[in-house]
Amino acid sequence: MSQTIQPIGAAQRREVEAATADCVARVSRALGREFPVPSVRFDLRGRTAGMFRSDGRSQWIRYNPWIFAKYYRENLEGTVPHEVAHYIVHSLYRRRRVAPHGREWQAVMALLGAPPEVTFDRDLSDIPQRRQRTHAYHCGCRQHDLSTTRHNRVRRGSGSYLCRACGEALRPGSGVD
């Protein structure tokens, strides 16, 4: 059994923050437009190395300190520009819908000299994982396991889901009609 990886420490966090600021500055110079450096957080868990978020008033980039610890150089060179590119595209096209990894994002990645890779497929067996509980739902043909997030949407009345096979609405419970 392998030992669980420990998250990156303060010195490496500062280096990741500096790399994030450097990417933003490089795009700012290339586009002739000033972009503020978003807040950087090291609170991401699970199988995702990085994530750009916005709540309308502020933007921030979240990094997974455990994945960075295991694959530090790869994440510094790949994940940091990847998330900065999402931030820049959001800043440029806020009012328009653009594909998450579409041509706008790919163009920013090119400005950063980073390959426009979308997935981070590495061994994460020794990275702490958050497991989400599933909830049994059914339709006319089978049982479906919905995540807690989707289950809560159904309970609040803000979401409903259809079976892709038979087209019926999913209902709580495990029995098939």
Pairing mode, strands 59-63 and 39-41: parallel
- DSSP class of 23: H
* Residues with catalytic roles: 83
3-state secondary structure of 87: helix
Tell me the average pLDDT across 74-93: 96
User: Looking at residue 133, what is its pLDDT?
Assistant: 82
Residue 2: the pLDDT is 54
Entry pTM: 0.74
- Confidence band, pLDDT 50/70/90 cuts, at residue 1: very low
Which residues are paired to 95 by β-bridges? Answer: none
pLDDT of 130 higher than 70: no
Mean pLDDT, all residues of the chain: 91
For domain 10-111, the question of CATH label 3.30.1380 is answered with no
Is the pLDDT at 66 greater than 90, yes or no?
Answer: yes
Alpha-carbon gap, residue 50 to 67, rounded angstroms = 9
**Alpha-carbon torsion 134, 135, 136, 140, what sign?**
negative
- Do the beta carbons of residue 64 and residue 46 sit within 8 Å? yes
Kindly state the average pLDDT of the residues 113-132.
Answer: 80
Comparison of pLDDT for 42 and 1, the residue scoring more: 42
Report DSSP state, residue 127: S
Query: Where exactly are the structural domains of the chain?
Result: 10-111, 134-172
